[in-house]
Amino acid sequence: MNDTEQARLISECIAGNQAAIEVLVRQHEVGVFRLALSIVGDAVDANEITQETFIAVLKSLRKYQEKRSFKAWLYTIALNLSRSHLRKRKVVERLKSTIGGILRMEAQKQSTPEDEVIRTEKEEVVWSELNSLDERHREVVILRYFHELSVSEISEILSINEGTVHSRLHNAREKLRGVLKSVHGE
């Protein structure tokens, strides 16, 4: 597709032409998927990133400057989303490792195999419930309780008001309250 055809396709997409949007996506979806897959190494995650990329592209298509290659612009968005996904995955993995370490230290105090099984089950329940929270609630819980950040630091990191942080923490605690009580035997 030459530059004139590409510009016309982009104009049609901006105008909301569904057929043009489908053509644009079909032209680039394999390349975007391959890029994401090469970065994150997981086909399911790469598929999700591909979808997120096209959503982001369509939302910001008006900002695209034709002096830059459309493919380069598109791939920059896909690369940034892939990197972001990796950072989130690393944070979760570090948290799991940290919690596992803390729970293992606690388990050393308990010496019976039955106690170890109970500890492992409790850990799985907590992580399952934490992962069931939506991302915005999970993030504030992780930042507050696992990274021990202040509400003002969380507010700055997430670019939201402190009141929103408090609200999300409260809502997340309410959602987790029942499982935490059962894990701690209350």
Amino acid 23: pLDDT:
93
- 186 vs 32: CA distance, rounded Å: 49
The 10 Å Cβ neighbour count of residue 113 is 8
Helix axes of 70-109 and 113-132: crossing angle, nearest 10 degrees: 150
Q: Residue type for 45, please?
A: D
Angle in degrees, CA 97, 102, 104, rounded to 5:
90
Amino acid 89: pLDDT:
78
Domains of the chain in start order, with CATH, are: 3-85 (1.10.1740.10), 110-183 (1.10.10.10)
**What is the tens place of the pLDDT at every residue in 109-137?**
555 666 556 556 666 766 777 778 888 88
pTM for this predicted structure:
0.51
Go through the chain and tell me how many residues it has.
Answer: 186
What's the pLDDT band for 167 if we cut at 50, 70, 90? very high
Q: Is the dihedral angle over the CA atoms 62, 68, 71, 76 positive or is it negative?
A: negative
> Is pLDDT above 90 for 86?
no
Separation in Å, CA 29 to CA 14, 21, 55: 18, 12, 12
**What is the tens place of the pLDDT at every residue in 23-62?**
999 999 999 999 899 888 889 999 999 999 999 999 998 8
What's the pLDDT band for 168 if we cut at 50, 70, 90? very high
